Every structure is written in structure tokens, then in C-alpha cells.
Amino acid sequence: MTSSDWLDVAGWSESFSNWSMDNVHDVLPSGDIDMQVTIPSTWAWPEPITMGPIFNMQSGFASIQPALESFMHATIMCTVVFGMMMTTMLAIPYIERKFIGRLMDRLGATTTLRSLWVGESGVTAGEWWNQLPFGMGAPIGWVVNALNSTWGNSHELETVARVNNRSYHGYWFLLPGFFQAFADFMKFATKEHIVPKNADKVVFEVAPVIILATTIMVFAFVPFGPHIYAANPELSLLFMMAIFGIAPLGVFFAGWASNNKYTLIGGMRSAAQLTAYEIPLLITVLGVAVLSGSFNIIEIVDFQMGQDEGNVWNIFLMPLGALLFLVTMIAEVERIPFDMPEAEAELVEGWWTEYGGIRWGLMFAAEYMRSYAACILFALFFLGGWEAPFQHTLSNLPAVGGIFSTVFSVIPGLIWVLLKAWLLFAVFVWIRASLHRVRTDQILEFGWRYLLPLSMLNLVIATILRLQFWTGGPWDLWVPAAVTLVSGGLFVILAIDEDEEALEIQRRPYSTQAVVKASPGSHRK
């Protein structure tokens, strides 16, 4: 089943291109005109080129019309996808700012989650769901109250006070902090551009262009929906992964050209790290391709949601692959705990120490774009892309299935892609807020000695699943259920690595050494 979505941007763009080019064709003069164009030989050609003498504009245009139509279609789609990428990416720094602010300012992850349903309430916004028109927020209020009575404090105000460690002044619907990204951009754009005296100036200027251009180019192959993509070649997966791997070259250029010891070390770290993580990443993605039987991203998503194909999200079939993809992608986009190339504690700012102003801002934006691309790719590869959670199950329910299918047909797939990507970015931020930075040699060791064999194992699992357990139609329900159960059980077993007895004896479970306390009062003798 090919995915259906009323938000058919590609179709609209194509029909608009055809229609407008037909109009151009129609308004051209229909008769033959006597036109002779001669290009003199002195320019480049040995012989003078002569067109004409008789030229029919309509039939001449008709020969190039398909090329013009596809060019116009591509232009429109590139503009749409670029604009969509840039506007939706504004949510990424917003999520980072808000979520990490909560994690750091408040009382840990549990309270952070609770703060999401308590909201910025209390002295500021209060029960914000009551401000929604037509009582639309009433269900939110029920959920919030239910959650509060279950996991909140017994007293509502106490929860609010605990969560509301700080206050903000403003209206929740203005998304306080959202437009900070624009202010940041203005600041970067107005800063002076400084090139270090002894830098390799050409390479210094070229490196940000390489990084930014390849990062944006990745989005050409990332579909936001079944019909929203800039380009959709047969092997879009390979194409995109190849372009994803160009940016490290720019990083290395930047590190070398700045003529600074910090940037040099940062660039080398980046090169080593990205080499170590590119290979497990590619093998993991290969596992996805094997399982879905396609190198085309849209077909991979179709395989996950099509009722006559797989019909199960890939994360339930290869959780190991999803985990590997998450870890390697965090390393690829150089976020904590793998942000060794820009370790600000010892390398000041790593390979971009010498960049300032708009170049720094754009490279930082490229960093976020790569994170965003990683999140979207995770959503597409493992979380069913533009399929709503349990879409088919809910739509096939006996009584209320019709309502659900109507609702799902109204919501465009784009929404689900974005929601999944943003949620995943929140996980990135959560990881960043709770982990430390891993050392370079440890990062490399982890990549080569653990991730590479695991990704090979994942490939083997994907092959076995595809060849042995896939019958050509939807997956038998026991296959994803068994895989998920086994993986979850393994995860739980591996997570409990603490020695219970040691825990009881020692308050510090991981300490290798014990505190020796002198007996109190020995100094009074």
C-alpha cells in the first residue's frame, strides 16, 4: 500500500508546473516565424552556428517543456522543503532551551516530567488549559488532575511550588523563549568577521560552506511526509548517508586552517570519532534497508505502515538497531556525551574556536540541523514515519474505528513526523543534561569494540528476520512481540548489574573503596 495523505505537496507542485508551462505554451505565437540567429565563430566554435531560418515557437517550446516542468517542480519542492525545515527547526533550540532549563533548574527528571503537566502555573499562567476556546482544554485538565492525584503531591499548591522553582512573565501561547533564536541570529549577523592572522584564509572561509551546504543537502532526501520531499531517487538512503559523511571533512578543514592548537586537536578528534562511528551507523542503516527491502526512505516507511507489507514499526523488530542508531547518531552530531571535538573544558570550543559572528552561528545552526535530521531519520526508520501510533489497530476497532480513521485521515502525516522528531530531540536533551563527557580514547574504544560488532549482529538479525520470518504480507504478530519481549528482558537483566549485598553493606554501590572513619572522640584522650 502506498501511503495516502491529503497534503500532497508534490502532486500540487507538479500539476501547477504542468499547468503553468501549458499556459506558456499556449500564449506563444503558433505560426512559423522567420528567425535566423547566427552565432559567430570567434566565440568558441570553429564553425558559425546558424539556427533557423524557419522556427516554430510552439513546437520548439514543446521539445523543452518536460525539462522546464520538472525544473520548476524541483524548484518549488526545494523551496517548500527548505522553508519547512527551517521553520520547524526553530522548535529544536526551543526544546533544548526549555527542556534543559527544566532539567537543570528543577528537581530532576521525575519532577521535570511532572512539571510538564503542571505547566508554568501557580503565580504565572495558572491552569492554562482553561484559557483554550470552547472548553477544548477540558480533557487536558482531566488528564492533569488525574496525573496529579496519582503521582503529584497530595496538595496541589505544593506541587506547583516545587515545580515552579522559577517563574516567567508572559503568556503561554506566545511560547516564551521561542523567538530567542531570531535575536541570536541578529546578534551573530551583526558581529565582525575576524580571520586569524596566520590562518589559511581560503580554507578557513570554505570550511563553513562545506559544513553548512552538505548539512542542508541532507534534507533534500529526507521526506517530511509521503509527498513532501525535494528529491526522491531510488537509492535516497545511500545518497543521504554519503552526504552526511562529507561534513567531517569540513570540520577537519576548519580545524587545520584556523592555525590554532585547540582547533587542530578538535579537528583530529572529530575526524577520528566520526570515522569510528560512521561505520556502525552505516551498518545499522543497512540493517534497516535489509529488513524493509529497500534503499528508498519513503518505501522504508511504507513497509512499516503498509497493511499488505510489514505493518509493524521497525523499532519492535530490531530494538537493538534503534539503540545503535540513537547512540551513533548522537556521536555523529557531536552532542554530549560524545562532544569530545568541542570539549569546552579543555579545548575552549574545539574546532570552531577561531570562528565568530555569522560563521559561528551558521555552523551552530548546522549542528542543530544535523541533530534534527538525525531525529527525523530515527522517526522514519524506526517509528513508522508519518503513521500515527496504532493507526491501523485503532481504525479497525469495531465501534469507534470509523471515528479514528476519520481523525487520522484529517491529520496530515507531516504532523506525526514532526512530533516524533521533536520527542526524540527531547531525549537527546535529556541525555545531555544527565551524562558527562566521555574521553576520546574511551569514545573510540566504545565505537570500535562494542558498536561495530553489535551493528554486525543487528545486520544478521535483520537478515534472519527478513528471510525466515517475513511471509510477504504483514508480520505475524508473534514476531515483533517475541523480539520486543526478548530485548526488553535482556535490557532489564543487563540493567540490574548491581550487587544487592554490596548495596546493603555499602551505601555507595559503585565505589571500589570504602571510607575509613576514625572512631569519634579519639582526639580527646
Partner 1 sequence: MAEMWISMGPQHPMTHGLWTLKVKVDGETVVDTEPDLGYIHRGVEKICESRDFTQITTYCDRLCYASANTWSHAYIYAAEDLLEVEVPERAEYIRLVAIELQRVASHLMWLGAYGPDIGNLSVMVWCLREREMMMDLLQELGGSRMHYNFPRIGGVKRDLPYGFAQRARAKLKLFLNRIQEYEALFDESTVFLVRSQGVGYAKPEEMVNHGVTGPNLRAGGVNYDIRWAHPYSVYSELDWAPPVERSSIKGADCYDRYRVRVEEMRVSASLVLQALDKMPGGADTYHEPEDPMILAKAPSRAPEGTTGAHHFEDSRGESMFYIAGGGEGRGKQPYRVSIRSPMFITIPYAAKCMIGYKVADIPAIMGSFDPCIGETDR
Q: How far is the CB of 367 from partner 1 (least distance, A)?
A: 16
Nearer to partner 1, 96 or 332 (CB): 96
Closest CA to 159 of 148, 170, 145, 147: 148
Q: Angle at the Cα of 318 (from 314 to 323), degrees rounded to 5?
A: 100
**21 belongs to the binding site for partner 1 (CB under 8 A):** no
Q: Which of 87, 198, 468, 510 is the binder for partner 1 (CB under 8 A)?
A: 510
Strand partners, 38: 50
Q: How many CB atoms lie within 10 A of CB 459?
A: 21
**508 belongs to the binding site for partner 1 (CB under 8 A):** yes
C-beta separation of 11 from 227 below 8 A: yes
3-state secondary structure of 124: coil
Nearer to partner 1, 441 or 476 (CB): 441
Q: Which of 235, 238, 348, 479 is the binder for partner 1 (CB under 8 A)?
A: 348
**198 belongs to the binding site for partner 1 (CB under 8 A):** no
Report whether the peptide linkage leading into residue 319 is cis, meaning its omega lies within 30 degrees of zero: no
Which stretch, 68-76, 87-95, 103-111, 273-281, contacts partner 1 (CB under 8 A)? 103-111
Q: Please state at what angle helix 91-105 crosses helix 57-89, rounded to 10 degrees.
A: 10
Nearer to partner 1, 56 or 275 (CB): 275
Q: Which of 437, 448, 474, 479 is the binder for partner 1 (CB under 8 A)?
A: 437
**493 belongs to the binding site for partner 1 (CB under 8 A):** no
Nearer to partner 1, 471 or 522 (CB): 522
Residue 389 C-alpha cell reads as 501510533
| Distance in angstroms (rounded) separating the CA atoms of residues 368 and 212 | 11
Which stretch, 188-196, 287-295, 341-349, 355-363, contacts partner 1 (CB under 8 A)? 341-349
**343 belongs to the binding site for partner 1 (CB under 8 A):** yes
Nearer to partner 1, 155 or 261 (CB): 261
Task: Give, as ranges, the residues between 249 and 288 that touch partner 1 (CB under 8 A).
Answer: 261-262, 265, 269
**517 belongs to the binding site for partner 1 (CB under 8 A):** yes
| Distance in angstroms (rounded) separating the CA atoms of residues 418 and 240 | 19
Task: Give, as ranges, the residues between 366 and 385 that touch partner 1 (CB under 8 A).
Answer: none
DSSP strand E in 306-445: where?
none
User: Which amino acid is present at 450?
Assistant: Y
DSSP string, 466-509: IIII--SSSPPTHHHHHHHHHHHHHHHHHH--S-HHHHHH-S-T
Q: Angle at the Cα of 292 (from 289 to 295), degrees rounded to 5?
A: 40
Nearer to partner 1, 310 or 337 (CB): 337
User: Which amino acid is present at 141?
Assistant: G
Q: How far is the CB of 14 from partner 1 (least distance, A)?
A: 48
Q: Which of 255, 280, 337, 385 is the binder for partner 1 (CB under 8 A)?
A: 337
**438 belongs to the binding site for partner 1 (CB under 8 A):** yes
> What are the residues whose beta carbons fall under 8 Å from the beta carbon of 355, sequence distance 6 or more?
208, 254, 258, 363
Q: How many CB atoms lie within 10 A of CB 518?
A: 7
Task: Give, as ranges, the residues between 108 and 127 that touch partner 1 (CB under 8 A).
Answer: 108
**419 belongs to the binding site for partner 1 (CB under 8 A):** no
Q: 3-class secondary structure for 287-322?
A: HHHHHHCCCCHHHHHHHHHCCCCCCCCHHHHCHHHH
User: Which amino acid is present at 446?
Assistant: F
Which stretch, 43-51, 105-113, 205-213, 395-403, contacts partner 1 (CB under 8 A)? 105-113
* Longest CA–CA separation in the chain, Å: 121
**31 belongs to the binding site for partner 1 (CB under 8 A):** no
User: Which amino acid is present at 290?
Assistant: V
Residue 207 C-alpha cell reads as 570550511
| Distance in angstroms (rounded) separating the CA atoms of residues 420 and 111 | 22
**519 belongs to the binding site for partner 1 (CB under 8 A):** yes
**496 belongs to the binding site for partner 1 (CB under 8 A):** no
Residue with cell 548522537: 330
**440 belongs to the binding site for partner 1 (CB under 8 A):** yes
What track of x and - describes contact with partner 1 for positions 147 through 166 (by CB under 8 A)?
------------------x-
What track of x and - describes contact with partner 1 for positions 441 through 470 (by CB under 8 A)?
xx----------------------------
Strand partners, 39: 49
Nearer to partner 1, 273 or 314 (CB): 273
| Distance in angstroms (rounded) separating the CA atoms of residues 122 and 127 | 8
Which stretch, 101-109, 215-223, 309-317, 412-420, contacts partner 1 (CB under 8 A)? 101-109
What track of x and - describes contact with partner 1 for positions 44 through 83 (by CB under 8 A)?
----------------------------------------
# binding residues, partner 1 (CB under 8 A):
47
**525 belongs to the binding site for partner 1 (CB under 8 A):** no
Nearer to partner 1, 212 or 340 (CB): 340
| Distance in angstroms (rounded) separating the CA atoms of residues 250 and 162 | 46
Q: How far is the CB of 259 from partner 1 (least distance, A)?
A: 13
Q: Which of 433, 451, 454, 459 is the binder for partner 1 (CB under 8 A)?
A: 433
Q: Where along the sequence are the contacts to partner 1 (CB under 8 A)?
A: 100, 103-105, 107-108, 165, 261-262, 265, 269, 336-337, 339-340, 343-348, 433-442, 508-521, 523-524
